[in-house]
Structure 1
């Protein structure tokens, strides 16, 4: 299912056929993405990118849905509803965006649209966003959409020799 965010921002379901375009986007943004996302190191070639997409498209997590973010008709990132817990009425999301689209409010608009979509379509009342402590941009997005810092997992992951905590933000819908 395609989701229209604004006139110029669209979410389209990820497909394995997107591998070449996504691989190029990862390569163009590798330095930035590698600071905050553990999986970037594993993307070495097109085959690895296909596996990255496969793991998301065919996720066994309840309610998982993964999208490519299209900004002005150009693939610009990935957005995922990582899991939905209908019983608890909560969902977890994750995302990354190319540097050419950052600082324009794109991801904030995407998250706001998904919040409204999940609330209306599935009765979700709470959204969870997890960010490494150094990922100031993602933390800012979580806060802009009403996220409250609810937990920290200390010493969660080491990237580039730097130990980072995992910050958990909860958004009431």
Structure 2
């Protein structure tokens, strides 16, 4: 089982078949909250949906093409974070994440993203990481802004959410920028 210890409170873990039910329960409990910004929520109608998805995520990890990890805060599943895929030729990747409303305000996502950013630059030797957020999703946008990402621009109508389009903001962090941030801290 792949696990990545972020700190004393947070662990990232590649999910297994027996995680389908707790993951579905978490999404189902937070459905209306998550649905505001995540286009896949309505497609998750049972734990069975996650059984096939978890297999796909494990294959992605095995193929060395990114990963999707459960975030455990004090041993409790509270969200997900991961790399969508790796673009090896360009040495770039992008981060996706979501966190249960019940666990926000504890710095969980910031610390989880810091850990995988460090992994991407130090172990995978990536040069560029992107994060895309809906323009009006201020909580999500706070993560790249807090971590020193640069706002590159706005993609007008960049994502369709159920019945409307939203603009998306593109943020990026280059390895060179990250090294400078590390020297300052």
- Using structure 2 for the length normalisation, give the TM-score: 0.86
**Structure 2: which 5+ runs fail to align?**
176-185
2:47 is matched with which residue? 46
1:86–1:122 Cα contact (<8 Å) kept: no
List aligned pairs for 1:4-153, cutoff 5 A: 4-59=5-60, 63-153=65-155
**Structure 1: which 5+ runs fail to align?**
none
How many angstroms does 1:56 deviate by? Answer: 2.9
Q: Distance in 1 between matches of 2:93 and 2:161?
A: 26
1:10–1:71 Cα contact (<8 Å) kept: yes
Q: Distance in 1 between matches of 2:93 and 2:159?
A: 23
2:39–2:162 Cα contact (<8 Å) kept: no
Which ranges of 4 or more aligned residues in structure 1 deviate by more than 4 Å? none
1:62–1:85 Cα contact (<8 Å) kept: no
1:35–1:160 Cα contact (<8 Å) kept: no
CA deviations on 1:99-121 (whole Å, 9 max, x unpaired) are 12111111011111111111111
- Using structure 1 for the length normalisation, give the TM-score: 0.91
Q: Could you say what secondary structure the match of 1:58 adopts? A: helix
Q: Could you say what secondary structure the match of 1:38 adopts? A: coil
